């Protein structure tokens, strides 16, 4: 795919001279493009003068960075300890059944992707799910249907 080269170069140039710039560049690219496309990795590798294998190795090490576009609605289910002991796995199961995709996948229409996340820190609200910036807490599996219906 074609990427916005100017945006990419701005990101790289902004961080380039900082020691250990790779992480911050990847963060910014992830935030701007929604994922880290190959085309961007290639440019980053050239500009930072590191092998592509290193850039790719860093991306695939950290779970926050993705190689593929994620859905318009990023559904996250917290599987942190507090949520897990309160049954967040059942919430996840229900979401998977409704959206017919598994955690880590994106629906064919590009609308949804599901993530089984680490603790989001809202343990008081356990079990918790998030959709993009919205947080839903104290869930029972049945709540999921209504919540998902809001995101079309």
Partner 1 sequence: MKTLEQLEEIRNKYKQFTDMRTGESANAGECRRQIMVCCGTGCTSSKSPKIIEAFEQELLKNNLDKEVKVIKTGCFGLCALGPVVIVYPEGIFYSLVTPEDVPEIVEEHIIKGNIVKRLVYSETLNDDGSVKAFGEVGFYKKQMRVALRHCGFINPENIDEYIAVGGYKALEKVLKSMTREDVIKEVKDSGLRGRGGGGFPTGMKWQFTYDSEGGEKYVACNADEGDPGAFMDRSVLEGDPNTVIEAMAIAGYAVGAQRGFVYIRAEYPIAVKRLENAIEQAREYGILGENIFGTGFNFDMEIRLGAGAFVCGEETALIHSIEGMRGEPRPRPPFPAAKGIFGKPTVLNNVETYANIPVIILNGAQWFKNLGTEKSAGTKVFALGGKINNTGLVEVPMGTPLREVIYDIGGGIPNGKKFKAAQTGGPSGGCIPAELIDTPVDFDSLVSIGSMMGSGGLIVMDEDNCMVDIAKFFLEFTVDESCGKCPPCRIGTKRMLEILKRITEGKGQDGDIEKLETLAKTIKDSALCGLGQTAPNPILSTLKYFRDEYEAHVYEKRCPAGSCKALLSIKIDPDVCKGCTVCAKTCPVSAITGERKQAHFINTAKCIKCGACVEKCPFNAISFK
Partner 2 sequence: MMEKVKIIIDGKILEVPSDYTVLKAARMAHIDIPTLCYMEGINEIGACRMCLVEVKGARALQASCVYPVREGMEVYTNTQKVRTARKANLELILSNHDRKCTTCVRSENCELQRLAKELNVGDIPFEGENINYPIDNLSASIVRDNNKCIVCRRCVSVCEKVQTTGVIGAKNRGFKTEIGVPYDKSLKDTSCIMCGQCIQACPVGALREKEHIERVWNALENKDMHVVVQTAPAVRAALGEEFGLPVGTCVTGKMAAALKRLGFAKVFDTNTGADITIMEEGTELLDRINNGGVLPMITSCSPGWIKFCEHYYPEFIPNLSSCKSPHTMLGAVLKSYYADIMGIAPEKIFVVSVMPCTAKKYEIDRPEMEVDSLRDVDAVITTRELARMIKEARIDFVNIDDEPFDNPLGEASGAAVIFGATGGVMEAALRTVAKKLTGSPLDEIEFKQTRGQEGIKEFEINLPNITLKGAVAHGTGNARKLLDNVKSGKAQYHFIEVMACPGGCVTGGGQPIPSFKTKNELDIFSLRANALYEEDRSLPVRYSDDNEFVKKLYEEYLGEPNSHKAHEILHTNYTKREKYSDDFLDMTSVGETV
Can you give the binding site for partner 1, defined by CB under 8 A? 19-24, 26-27, 54, 57-58, 61-65, 79-82, 84-86, 117-126, 128, 135, 137, 141-142
Query: How many Å apart are CA 72 and CA 87, to the nearest integer?
Result: 26
Residue with smaller CB distance to partner 2, 39 or 143: 39
9's contact among partner 2, partner 1, none, with CB below 5 to 8 A by partner kind, is none
34's contact among partner 1, partner 2, none, with CB below 5 to 8 A by partner kind, is none
Q: What is the H or E stretch that residue 115 is in? A: strand 112-117
Peptide bond into 127 cis (omega under 30): yes
**Binders of partner 2: how many residues, by CB under 8 A?**
17
Residues 30 to 89: which contact partner 2 by CB under 8 A?
38-39, 41-42, 45-46, 50-57, 60-61, 67
150's contact among partner 1, partner 2, none, with CB below 5 to 8 A by partner kind, is none
Query: How many Å apart are CA 125 and CA 137, to the nearest integer?
Result: 5
Residue with smaller CB distance to partner 1, 67 or 111: 67
Tell me which residue of 66, 77, 68 sits closest to 147, measured CA to CA: 77
Tell me which residue of 105, 95, 68 sits closest to 151, measured CA to CA: 95
Strand partners, 134: 131
* Site of tokens 């590798």: 45
Interaction site with partner 2 (CB under 8 A): 38-39, 41-42, 45-46, 50-57, 60-61, 67
């Amino acid at each position: 795919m074609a990427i916005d080269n100017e945006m990419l170069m701005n990101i790289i140039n902004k961080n380039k001279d900082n020691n250990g710039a790779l992480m911050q560049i990847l963060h910014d690219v992830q935030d701007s493009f929604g994922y880290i496309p190959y085309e961007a990795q290639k440019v980053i590798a050239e500009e930072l003068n590191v092998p592509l294998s290193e850039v790719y190795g860093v991306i695939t090490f950290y779970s926050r960075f993705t190689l593929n576009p994620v859905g318009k609605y990023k559904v996250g289910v917290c599987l942190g300890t507090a949520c897990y002991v309160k049954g967040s796995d059942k919430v996840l199961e229900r979401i998977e059944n409704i959206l017919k995709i598994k955690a880590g996948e994106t629906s064919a229409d590009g609308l949804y992707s599901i993530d089984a996340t680490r603790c989001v820190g809202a343990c008081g609200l356990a079990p918790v799910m998030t959709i993009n910036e919205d947080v839903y807490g104290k869930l029972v599996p049945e709540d999921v249907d209504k919540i998902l219906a809001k995101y079309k």
